[in-house]
Structure 1
C-alpha cells in the first residue's frame, strides 16, 4: 500500500510538473499546466486537480493525456487516478455551465473524468473583448446595425430560403433544425444584411437573449490578442455567455489553425447548450479550403442557404425601395432600365441609382431615360468587369491554340491537361462560382478535380519557369 506519510497533493503535483516541463515546450507548459492547482490526494491513490474551465479540461484530455498518465504513474504507481475539479465562473442569471457530471472514461486506467462540487470564484470579473481595457463592464453589446432589418430586406426567388430560415430562427433561436444557419453567396448579395436582420429580430422578440454579431476577422484578432496577453480563458468564457452568436465571413478562418481550434470548442459548447449559431460565407461549406474537417462537419449540421444574384423583378423592387427610402420619384422605364443593366449585385445596383440621383440633383436635370443611359454606361465602365467562366475558357484555349471541345475533353495529354487546369484556376480566381460549378462548366468535372487543379497550378508556378510564363501571359490578358 502506498505510503502517504510525506506525500501531499501539492508535492505530488509539483514533481509531476517537473516531469511534464521536461517533455513539452515552454509556452505549452505555461498555457496548459501552470494554471492547474492540486487540490487533494486521497487514500484511494487519486489526485484531484482544479482546472479553469471545461474547455481547459477537454484540451488536456485531447492533447496531453499520455504525458499526464506517465507523470502520475511515475509518482503514484499504476493504480493511480487523476480527477478534475472544474472551477465555476459565475455567469448571468443563475446559469452554471460547468456543473454537469463529466462521463467516466475507460480509455486510460490512470484517470477518471469526473467532477466534484464546483469551486465558486468570489466576485469574478468577466473580461469583455469589446470594452476598452481598464474599464470594468461585463455588459455585452450586440454590435448589430439596426438599419439592417427584415422590413428592408426584400424577398425574392434568389433569397427566399435564407430569409424564411432566418425568420424561423428569429422566432425560436436554438429551437429549430437550422442550427447552425449558414448563409452563403457572392459579394454584395445581402448576406450581412440578413445576418443583422436575424439578430435585430431576435433582440426585439427575445430581449432576454444575449445576441452578438462579429466578423470572423475581428474574432481572429481578439483571439490573437488573448494569446498574447495570456487571457485566452477569459476570451473563451466571454463567448460561452452568448445565446445567439452571429459570425460574418467565416471563410476568413481559412488557414488559421489556432483560431479554428478555439472556435470549434466555442461552437460545440454553444450548440450543446441549445444556443443559436449563425454564419455567413462567400462559399458553401463543401467549397471551403484550409478549414479543418471537424469544423466543416459542424457547419453542415444545420441548414446551408444560398443567396443568389437577384432576378429582374427583385432588382426592380430593390430600386423602388431605395427610392421610397430617399423620398425620390423616378419614371418606371428608368427603374427598369437600371435593373436590366446592373445584374451583378445589390451594392452596385444601389450605387448606380445613387449616381443617377446625384447627377439629376447637381446638374438640375430631370431624370429621363437618356440621362439614365448616360449615367449607367459610365458607372458600369468604372465598376470592375466580372469575368465569366466561358470567357476564361476562350482566352485559355485561344492562347494554347485549342478548340473549346478539346479543352473540355477527357484527354490526358500534358499540354491539354495543363490548359484545363489553368482555366479552372483562373475561374476560381476571377469568378464567384463554386468549385462544383466551375468543374461542371469545364469538362463536367467534380469540385475535387478543380481543387486538385488549383493546387497543381500553385506547385508548377514554383517549379516550372515555362509554365509560369504561360500563367503570367494569360493572367495579363484576363486583367486588362
Structure 2
C-alpha cells in the first residue's frame, strides 16, 4: 500500500488522502524510476516533467498530457519504461489513464492504456489493441458511416502499374524493396508510413500504385485507396461546402491501405493538413498502412506543419534517383517487349545514352519511333531514328566517355589499358586507376557500377573509395590537384 509523503501525518494510510494526493505520490515514485531508467536528462525534462497527475482510483492512475502528439510520443518511445515504473509502484494490476488536452476544442479526451495486457515490443501500430477511447461512440459511428459508403468504394488504382513491369536498378533498389515488403505485409512493418520521393518521371506513381495493386489482388488489404493530394484537397473542400466533412473523414479513417501521391501539394493548405493529421493518426494507430510520394525529401517541404512532417518521417523514406545507363536500356527493352516490337541495338543505345533526364521522356522517345514506323510502314534504322528524335534528343557526340577517360589517363601516366584494368597493386598504377575512376565519375554520367565494370570488373564500392580518396588527397596535395587539372584539360580537348 502507498504511504503518504510530505503529508501532515507522515506515514498515514493512503486511504485518508484524496485521489489527487494519491496520484501525486504515486506519480512521484514513478518519476524516480523513470529518471533512473533514462540516460538522457533532457528527455526526462521534455516528456515527463510536463505531465500532471490528476487522480489515483484503486490501481488506475490518471495523468494529464499537453497534447495528442505528446501522448503518442510517450507511448511510442517510453512504453516499456512507463509500464515497469507503474507495476513497481502499484502492482501488476496497474492501469494508466491519459487525459489528453485537445487544444482545438479546449476539452479533454480521456484515453485508457491497460498496461499489464500489453505483450511484446510496443509500437504505435499496436495501440488499438491496448488503448480505447473512454467514450466509444465516435469509433462506432465512423464504422457505420464507412459501412454505408462501401457501395461507392473505388480504389482508383491503375492496373498497368505493377511490380512485374517496374524495372529495377541501382537507382531504385531501396524504394523497390521497401514497396514490395509493404505490399506483402501492409501495416505490419516499421515502414509505416512509407514515403517515396524523387523528381518528375522517375516512377513514383508506378511504384506506389504497384503496392496497392499487389496488396489488393493478394488479399493483403481489403480496402485500398489511391488518391492524389490535389484530388484529396478538392474532395475535402467539397465535403465542407456540402456539410459532409464528417462522412469524408470517417470514410478515409477506415481505409486499410491509403496511398497519397504528391504530398507537396499540401503545402500551405492548413485545413487540409489538419484533416490529414487526424486521418494519419487514426490509421497509424489502427495498424493500417500509409504510403506517400513527394517530389522532394520530407524535410525540404515548406508550408507544412511540423507535427505532420514529423509523422511523415516516422517510417521509411526512400528516394528514386535518375536511372543509370543500364537501367535506361533495360526500360527500353521492357517497353519493346510489351509492344511486341524490336529495334536495332544501335538505336536502343542511342536513346539510352542521350535521354537521361527521366523515364517518362525516355519512353516517349520510344513511342514516337514505334508510332512513326507503324504509320509509315517502314523499318527504323539509326540515321532515321536520329532524324525523328532530333527535337527530343540532343545527341551529345562531344560528351566524354569512359573510353576517353581511360585513354587520357593511360597517356598521362604512360601505362597501358591492361595495366589500369589489371590487378597490379603497384603504387603508381593503383593511383592512376583511382584517378581514372575519379575522372570517369566527374566527367561522365556513368554509375559507380558501370565504372567499376569497365575498369577490370571491380565492385561499385571500389569506385566510391577511389573517388573519396582522390577528393581527400586533392584537399591536401598540390601535386594531386595539378594532376586532376591536367587530365581535365586533356579531356576538354578530346571532347571538342
The TM-score range, normalised by the shorter chain, is 0.5 to 0.7
Q: Does 1:222 align with 2:235?
A: yes
**1:342 to 1:59, Cα distance in 2 relative to 1, 3 A:** farther
In the TM superposition, residue 376 of structure 1 has moved relative to its aligned partner by 2.0
Out of 282, 293, 300, the position equivalent to 1:269 is 282
Q: Distance in 2 between matches of 1:122 and 1:342?
A: 50
Alignment of 1:94-109 (within 5 A): 101-102=132-133
Residue 438 of structure 1 corresponds to none
1:84-107 CA-to-partner distances (Å, cap 9, x unmatched) read 89xxxxxxxxxxx899544xxxxx
| Distance of 2:109 and 2:202 partners within structure 1 | 51
- Alignment of 1:62 with 2:75, yes or no, is no
- How do residues 67-106 of structure 1 correspond to structure 2 at under 5 angstroms? 101-102=132-133
> 1:146 is matched with which residue?
159
Contact 1:341 1:376 in 2 (8 A): no
Alignment partner of 1:306: what SS? Answer: strand
The superposition leaves residues 169-209 of structure 1 with CA deviations (integer Å, 9 ceiling, x where unpaired) of: 01111111111000000000100000110111111222552
The structure with the largest alpha-carbon Rg is 2
Q: Which residue of 2 aligns with 1:206?
A: 219
User: Which moves more between the two structures, 247-256 or 205-214?
Assistant: 205-214
- Is residue 302 from structure 1 mapped to residue 307 from structure 2 by the alignment? no
Which of 387, 396, 401 does residue 374 from structure 1 map onto? 387
Aligned length: 285
Q: In structure 2, do the counterparts of structure 1 residues 335 and 121 end up closer, same or farther at CA, with 3 Å as the change threshold?
A: closer
Residue 181 of structure 1 is matched in structure 2 by: 194
1:106-153 per-position Cα deviation (integer Å, ceiling 9, x unaligned): xxxxxxxx437889669955498xxxxxxx753522111111000000
C-alpha distance in 2 between matches for 1:261 and 1:149: 32
Q: Distance in 1 between matches of 2:307 and 2:143?
A: 37
Residue 377 of structure 2 is matched in structure 1 by 364
Following the alignment from structure 2 to structure 1, what is the Cα–Cα distance between the partners of residues 173 and 285? 28
Q: In the TM superposition, what is the alpha-carbon distance from 1:215 to its structure 2 partner?
A: 0.4
Aligned counterparts of 2:377 and 2:332: Cα–Cα separation in 1: 21
Per the TM alignment, residue 375 of structure 1 is displaced from its structure 2 partner at its CA by 1.7
Shift of 1:368: 0.7
State the TM-score, normalizing by the size of structure 2.
Answer: 0.53
Structure 1 residue 155 corresponds to structure 2 residue 168: yes
Aligned residue for 1:214, secondary structure, equals: strand
CA RMSD of aligned residues (A): 3.2
Gaps of 5+ in 1: 1-53, 69-81, 86-96, 103-113, 129-135, 382-480
TM, length-normalised to structure 1: 0.55
Residues 236-385 of structure 1 correspond to what in structure 2 (within 5 A)?
A: 236-380=249-393
Contact 1:155/1:163 (CA < 8 Å) preserved in 2?
yes
Shift of 1:59: 11
Rounded Cα–Cα distance in structure 1 between residues aligned with 2:174 and 2:142: 47
In 2, the alpha carbon distance for the partners of 1:155 and 1:361 equals 29
Alignment of 1:115 onto 2:135: yes
**CA contact 1:127–1:234 (8 Å) conserved in 2:** no
Look up the SS of the partner of 1:379 in the other structure.
coil
Q: Distance in 2 between matches of 1:229 and 1:122?
A: 18
CA contact (8 A) 1:184 1:282 kept: yes
How many angstroms apart in 1 are the aligned matches of 2:138 and 2:146?
18
Q: 1:264 to 1:122 in 2, by over 3 A?
A: closer
